[in-house]
Amino acid sequence: MSELKNIPRHVAIIMDGNGRWAELRHKERFYGHIQGVESVRATVKAAIRNGVRYVTLYAFSTENWERPEEEVSALMELFCRSVENETPELQRQGVRVAMIGDRSRFPSEVRQSLDRIEQETASGDKLTLILALNYSSRSELTRAARLLAARAAAGELSPQQIDEKEMAAALYTAPYPDPDLVIRTSGEMRLSNFLLWQSSYAELYFPEVLWPDFTEEEFDRAVKVYAGRDRRFGRIKKK
Ligand code: FPP
């Protein structure tokens, strides 16, 4: 367990730079995604060691469907293979796997693998690993507006009762606390439609390292940077 006092409960990560990592080595972009799975393993280990309770990974955005078909289907295969191969180790480590996003567009084999890993890891109590799959904040917020409008139209709730609590409860992330720290690797400084509502007060950290080079030490560094930040949530500093 970390010696630091101020540990983020929830770390959300935009895993960026797989393609560039592969291109730098004159390999296909997909090679970077394969290597990226190693960084996911390192992240899980380091998160548990530091006492982080939730990690969300932006694994596939709604915009990623626009990539070449071979890359999309190779990513789908990688998700299936990774979840099948990793399940026993995740169970051993006490990791519960959960998902946010709209899985309905995924091929049925992928959906089945994802359902299976959720069921088989349901009792994990050390870390909740949330995979954002076919996820984007704008589509999540639009879906929430639609759900609330339907409840209002059905007379279950008046428009005046729609407050921040109702909004948060209509999001995919309703069961989880907001992220305390959002990391995006590869030096890019954008949130790219990721957890926009939930990250309102999150600390942001943009290391230069490409995702396939993100190690346990890199995760430790991020936790240390977070511990040194002064979160005020719009208030002034306590004397
Ligand atoms: C972004 O890098 C990465 C992705 C879109 C895919 C991330 C997926 C993995 C690391 C596999 C993880 C597997 C599981 C089971 C969670 P990029 O391709 O946008 O890189 P670039 O910006 O250098 O082109």
Find the range with the poorest average confidence among 77-86, 117-126, 128-137, 177-186.
77-86
Residue 1 inside a domain? The answer is no
Q: How many domains, the chain?
A: 1
Residue 30 inside a domain? The answer is yes
Answer whether 206's CB lies under 8 Å from 231's CB. Answer: no
Answer whether 38's CB lies under 8 Å from 215's CB. Answer: no
Residues at CB less than 6 angstroms from ligand 1: 15-20, 33, 36-37, 40, 57, 59, 64, 78-79, 82-83, 131
Q: Among residues of the chain, what percentage have pLDDT more than 90?
A: 92
In this prediction the pTM is: 0.95
Terminal alpha carbon distance of the chain:
30
Residue 159 inside a domain? The answer is no
Nearest protein CA to atom 5 of ligand 1, as residue: 60
Identify the CA nearest to 203 among candidates 43, 3, 12.
12
Residue 64 a catalytic site member: yes
143-191 per-position pLDDT tens digit: 999 999 999 999 999 999 999 999 999 999 999 999 999 999 999 999 9
Q: What is the mean pLDDT of residues 121-130?
A: 98
Q: Number of helices (H) and strands (E), helices first, in the chain?
A: 7, 6
Residue 239 inside a domain? The answer is no
Of 6, 18, 50, 64, catalytic: 64
User: Which CATH number characterizes residue 31's domain?
Assistant: 3.40.1180.10
Q: What whole-number distance in Å separates Cα of residue 10 and Cα of residue 129?
A: 10
Name the residue range of residue 45's domain: 10-136+178-227
Confidence of residue 84 (pLDDT cuts 50, 70, 90): confident
